[in-house]
Structure 1
Amino acid sequence: MEKFDQEIWNCIDVLKRGGIILYPTDTVWGIGCDATNADAVDKVFALKKRQENKALICLVSNFKMLEQYVENVPETAYDILKYATKPTTIIYDQPYHIAENLVSDDNTLGIRVVRDTFCSGLIKKLKKPIVSTSANISSQPTPQSFDQITPQILKGVDYVVNLDRSKKSPKPSAIIKLSNDGQVKVIRK
């Protein structure tokens, strides 16, 4: 089995058991878990020392999966994602079939449709979205490379993916909030 495929299966084994992983995303190195498992989401909050009212995002592999977790995907979302030149997270109203502790108090959730080969492959094989949050303790700088990830994070996850450790991370994704009432708000460019 190719190393790439083996890394995906190693992650799936951990994710299905409710564990958390450290993995390369289409943006920065991320901490992740099964986005439908509330206990696993709690572990991510605890590791990051993040307040639960501070939202996390999740990743899906394609539009079809997006539609399984958002009650009403605004048409504008498809246009934004189709023409985006960099990874773009959209905050949607009324997510469902997702861990309740991932959903913000205002009933929204940030979701990114990934184009990254590893992330997409992992999500497709898991058949569920995964949480994605930067690999740092809350309020600490986001690591720009694997070497900048603290030992506390490395030791706090159940599995560390052994791919792309030498590459520099691009910037975090753009974030756009799309409300069902038609409002569009750019949160991060």
Structure 2
Amino acid sequence: MYQEIKNAFETLKSGGLILYPTDTVWGIGCDATNTEAVEKIFKLKQRHDSKALICLVADDRMLKKYVKEVPEAAFDIMDIEDNPITIIYDEPQHLAENLIAKNNTIAIRIPDNEFCFQLLRKFNGAIVSTSANISGQPTPKSFKEIHEDILKGVDYVVNLPDEKIGAKPSSIIKLSNDGKVQIIRK
């Protein structure tokens, strides 16, 4: 796994795209602070940039780096939720402009996956995570279902096909600074 982390890290640092296993599904990733890399993902997925992307962080410390004010409720939700949960936060900071939604929010998840955790720690920054499919197509449930255009369109494919992943996207909730909670995807 060390060599895969090293290769993915080098690809991210150079502005490239990786295809990697997450705690939910196979994802396309890049440096979440690199505007050009984020643009490459939108082009590869044939996705309009008004449709926001998710990013991953390693832990609470890293989360606080990218969200101006993390509501206390976020930590409670993450502590009690057993399934992968992505939270949409108000007032993101230090991220690529084209990663931030038009309403000034960002979707972030702390993954429960050893490869992701180690890669995020080594990278020491947020990594984009979007499902490995062309926009509008079904989310692949396994590596073998990933479309050839995606495989050819990334700069590095992490070689961990047996990595345990959930094969199901995370739940998404919007947690506003004013205390409102909205379920976006169960």
The reply to whether TM is greater than 0.5 is yes
> Are 1:116 and 2:113 matched, yes or no?
yes
What is the Cα deviation at residue 168 of structure 1? 6.4
> Are 1:139 and 2:147 matched, yes or no?
no
The SS at the match of 1:8 is helix
What is the Cα deviation at residue 114 of structure 1? 1.4
Aligned to 1:90: 87
The question of whether the paired residues in 1 share the 8 Å contact of 2:22 and 2:165 is answered with: no
AA in 1 matched with 2:57: V
Distance 1:25 1:168, change over 3 A: closer
* TM-score for the superposition, normalised by structure 1: 0.96
The question of whether the paired residues in 2 share the 8 Å contact of 1:59 and 1:130 is answered with: yes
> Are 1:107 and 2:104 matched, yes or no?
yes
The SS at the match of 2:44 is helix
> Are 1:180 and 2:177 matched, yes or no?
yes
| Cα distance in 2, alignment partners of residues 161 and 9 from structure 1 | 10
Aligned to 1:54: 51
| Cα distance in 1, alignment partners of residues 18 and 153 from structure 2 | 9
- Gaps of at least 5 residues in structure 2 are none
The SS at the match of 2:177 is coil
| Cα distance in 2, alignment partners of residues 146 and 128 from structure 1 | 25
The question of whether the paired residues in 2 share the 8 Å contact of 1:29 and 1:169 is answered with: no
What is the Cα deviation at residue 127 of structure 1? 0.5
- Identical aligned residues as a percent: 60
Which digits, 9 at most, give the CA deviation of each residue in 1:6-27, with x for residues without a partner? 0000001100000000000000
The SS at the match of 2:9 is helix
The SS at the match of 1:186 is strand
Aligned to 2:35: 38
| Cα distance in 1, alignment partners of residues 156 and 33 from structure 2 | 19
* TM-score for the superposition, normalised by structure 2: 0.98
| Cα distance in 2, alignment partners of residues 24 and 57 from structure 1 | 14
RMSD: 1.0
AA in 1 matched with 2:168: K
Distance 1:34 1:168, change over 3 A: closer
Q: Give the number of equivalent residue pairs.
A: 186
| Cα distance in 1, alignment partners of residues 134 and 173 from structure 2 | 24
Aligned to 1:156: 153
- Gaps of at least 5 residues in structure 1 are none
